[in-house]
Amino acid sequence: MMVWGKGNVGLLVIIIEVVAFGFQACFSEINITRGSFPKGFVFGTASSAFQYEGAVKEDGRGPSVWDTFSHKFGKIADFSNADVAVDQYHLYESDVQLMKDMGMDAYRFSISWSRIYPDGSGEINQAGVDHYNKLINALLAKGIEPYVTIYHWDLPQALEDKYNGWLDSRIIKDFATFAETCFQKFGDRVKHWITFNEPHTFSVQGYDVGLQAPGRCSIILHITCRAGNSATEPYIVGHHVLLSHATVVDIYRKKYKAKQQGSVGLSFDVMWFEPTSNTTEDIEAAQRAQDFQLGWFLDPLMFGDYPSSMRRRVGKRLPEFTRAESSILKGSLDFVGINHYTTYYAKPNSSNAIGTLLNDSIADSGAVTLPFKNLQPIGDRASSIWLYIVPVGMRKLMNYIKQKYGNPPVIITENGMDDPNNPLTPIKDALKDDKRIKYHNDYLKNLLASIKEDGCNVKGYFVWSLLDNWEWAAGYTSRFGLFFVDYNDKRKRYPKNSVQWFTKFLNST
């Protein structure tokens, strides 16, 4: 059990207050319209280079760790790869028109590091720069604001080969060079930057459980990992990511912000964790789960250090920040990006056997998180085995961030749900995605309530995703898009019913 000292009392009160919302939406029915949201609130869709672009060997692009990982046998659920993905590299102009026709304000996309620097560093690939210039200009020509993610998991393979990528502090300098190149080449038009997408996800999935690139782990009985240390590497990777972010923000503020007038944030993957019961033990477990998820990365950027629960439980395996590093970390966010999809229950991990068997960052939290209680699911499930639909979790999470972190500007940089990719389902039936419509309607209702009724400082909402796409280890088995992509017929796009719903919503007053 966590020992709650004097400094934890206020945080415990916060958790109790958030839990007190209960599991039913605690506000009257809201008929949401675009006009219900504050003036200037941004609506958009989100994507990533590796999941969308394809063209992996065109115009000088170098390989990334995901190219390598996805071509290894057994790593991807349907044995597919992203060599073509949804071919946005060639089809971006028509995709921009789809966004325009819906009434979207913005498009969040990422820049492939190995398109700009095929070897991770060294000589710039002008063809890569030219492509992103064309995409940015096409967006702006249609009145769509670019929100650019600098790193969305696709580390150049050359840097993985050279010094094990994120495990080596040399990555900080190379990432800073890449990011500064982006500021130099695109910053005259790009005013919204996201340094990293979901550092918690790629630290754990890539270096703890080995299910994502580069696939490192040391978990007993994990037969596909050939290298790694699950007890230390996720923390080393996370540490270098945080220092890379802070370094890049410092560069931007000192050299580019005055002229370019942009903002820089980071997108965090955040489940809401609901205590399994109202006992102190379960409330504390839910807080630990959140510390080891959001707090791991947001606390250093807000307060200058990792959560105290991580310091206590991880000990010397958790790297230390110098006083200078802590200073540059603290306050290095202009906005907090939140990728939120689902909510789980949390309770203490009472089995030492599990912790001993795993010996990793997940076991370190001392919390078990599951989407079930007494064999009852927490909500309806989407196609992904991890994605349960719990709209009120959005409101609770916004209030938690408001109360713990001082109500910073928040942008929902991803939210959405998937349907299965069933090859036997006719396209006309696959376009009937009423479940997705209800998902977005209900999550937006809760988001609006957090803004209007609770005073949460939320500035935007990005749908994952505009198109069905290549979903990492799930391959093409999962369809998150507002538009159906026919993978068997030149990646043709077909609007699902959710496109009609969003178009009507975005044009409502």
Q: Which of 53, 145, 160, 198 is catalytic?
A: 198
Q: How far apart are the first and last CA of the chain?
A: 50
Displacement of CA 82 from its chain's centroid (Å): 19
Judge whether 58 counts as a catalytic residue.
no
Please give the Cα distance from 296 to 332 (Å, whole number). Answer: 15
Strands 192-197 and 492-495: unpaired
With residue 173 as reference, give the H or E element that holds it: helix 170-186
Q: Which residues lie below 8 Å from residue 320, measured CB to CB, with a gap of 6+?
A: none
Q: Which of 274, 284, 414, 471 is catalytic?
A: 414
Contact 72, 219 (CB under 8 A): no
| 130 HSE (CA, 13 A, CB side) | 7
Please give the Cα distance from 47 to 87 (Å, whole number). Answer: 12
Contact 192, 186 (CB under 8 A): no
Contact 422, 411 (CB under 8 A): no
Three-state DSSP class for residue 349:
coil
Judge whether 471 counts as a catalytic residue.
no
Among 342, 309, 334, 305, which residue's Cα sits nearest to residue 320? 305
Residue type, 120: G
Strands 335-339 and 263-269: parallel
Taken in order 141, 143, 149, 150, the sign of the CA dihedral is positive
Please give the Cα distance from 316 to 314 (Å, whole number). Answer: 6
Which residues form the catalytic set? 198, 414
